[in-house]
Structure 1
Amino acid sequence: MADQLSRVFAALADPTRRDMVARLTVADATVNQLAEPYAVSIQAVSKHLKVLEDAGLVTRSRRAQTRPVHLEAEVFDLMTAWIERYRRQAEERYRRLDAVLAELTDPPPADLPTGRPQKAQPQKGKSS
């Protein structure tokens, strides 16, 4: 799992590949269709697709003379589970921090000492 997750995050580190993945969420596309918006060669797009394929994010099939690229959405479940685990941990830490901050900002009840030393009051009527 960790190795595949590393490959997925590494593949998505490139903005062109992230854009290709975003476009594939709408519909399958051929290499030529994926290459259209970029000022790069078909070979460069094919290299990007190879990285996405190695990470398990896309697959290619054969339809007549074309080889459409298909997004494998199940891989996002793996990423989501990993991210969710750390999101829950972070939220728990923030809840604990919120509780500590609330204790620091709320005034103590009147019957509890404030924790600050009080000045000794001179006693009246006694001489030294």
Structure 2
Amino acid sequence: MSSVLVVDDEPDVRLVTRVILEASGYDVWEAESGEAALDALGGDHLPDVLLLDVRMPGIDGWEVLRRVRGAPGLLRDLPVVIFTADIASAEQAPVALADREFFLSKPFDPDDLVELVGRAAKAAAA
């Protein structure tokens, strides 16, 4: 079973995302901020996919992505799905999306979420 760390400052978004992904067989962890995400990613067990909101107070999603990509070891290669309601933010991303990075706009279709997380999980296994 693949695991996904869902990072979003909105509890309702985390809940809906959790329900959709768990119904599709994923083990879902949650973080309510960029700081909490970095703490979770600093542990011994990494998720297979990081689902990361861009606009959050404090450490935003782009900064989390920069830190993940700059980290040593396996964290650097962690597949990341950026999801945001701010399309302009994605188009003006301060970090270019790489081969293990995907984009999903909010609001999202549940099938699109599952399909994209599945693609990211396959990238993790590759």
* TM-score, normalising length: structure 2: 0.25
* TM-score, normalising length: structure 1: 0.25
Q: Name the structure where helix makes up a greater proportion of residues.
A: 1
